[in-house]
Structure 1
Amino acid sequence: MPHHHTAEVLWERGDQPFTDKRYSRAHVLRFDGGVEVAGSSSPHVVAPPMSTEAAVDPEEMFIAALSSCHMLWFLAIAANRGYRVDRYHDAPTGLLRENTEGKMVMATVTLRPEIAFSGELQPDADALHDLHRLAHEECFLANSVKTLVLVEPR
Structure 2
Amino acid sequence: MSGREHHYGTTVSWTGNQGSGTAGYKTYSRDHDIAAPGKPPIPGSSDPAFRGDPARYNPEDMLVASLSACHMLWYLHLCAVNGVTVTAYADEAAGTMAEDSSGGGRFTDVVLRPRVTVAPGSDSAKAVALHHEAHEKCFIANSVNFPVRVEAKITVGP
Instruction: Compute the TM-score of the two structures, normalised by the length of structure 1.
Output: 0.88
1:83 and 2:87 correspond: no
In structure 1, stretches of 5+ residues that fail to align are: none
Deviation, 1:63, is: 0.2
1:8 matched residue in structure 2: 11
Note the alpha carbon deviations across 1:15-73, whole angstroms, 9 max, x for none. 134221121001101123322111000002x13xxx21100000000000000000000
Q: Secondary structure at the match of 1:6?
A: coil
Note the alpha carbon deviations across 1:123-144, whole angstroms, 9 max, x for none. 22xx233211100000001111
Aligned length: 148
How far apart, in 2, do the equivalents of 1:140 and 1:99 lie?
A: 27
Contact 2:97 2:109 in 1 (8 A): yes
Q: Secondary structure at the match of 2:124?
A: coil
Q: Secondary structure at the match of 1:41?
A: coil
Change in Cα spacing, 1:32 to 1:119, as seen in structure 2 (3 Å) is farther
| Amino acid corresponding to residue 87 of structure 2 in structure 1 | D
Instruction: Compute the TM-score of the two structures, normalised by the length of structure 2.
Output: 0.86
Percent of residue pairs identical: 35
How far apart, in 2, do the equivalents of 1:52 and 1:123 lie?
A: 42
Runs of 4 or more above 3 Å deviation: 98-103
In structure 2, stretches of 5+ residues that fail to align are: 154-158
How far apart, in 1, do the equivalents of 2:106 and 2:83 lie?
A: 39
Change in Cα spacing, 1:57 to 1:120, as seen in structure 2 (3 Å) is same
1:54 matched residue in structure 2: 55
| Amino acid corresponding to residue 39 of structure 2 in structure 1 | G
1:38 and 2:43 correspond: yes
| Amino acid corresponding to residue 15 of structure 1 in structure 2 | G
Contact 2:78 2:134 in 1 (8 A): yes
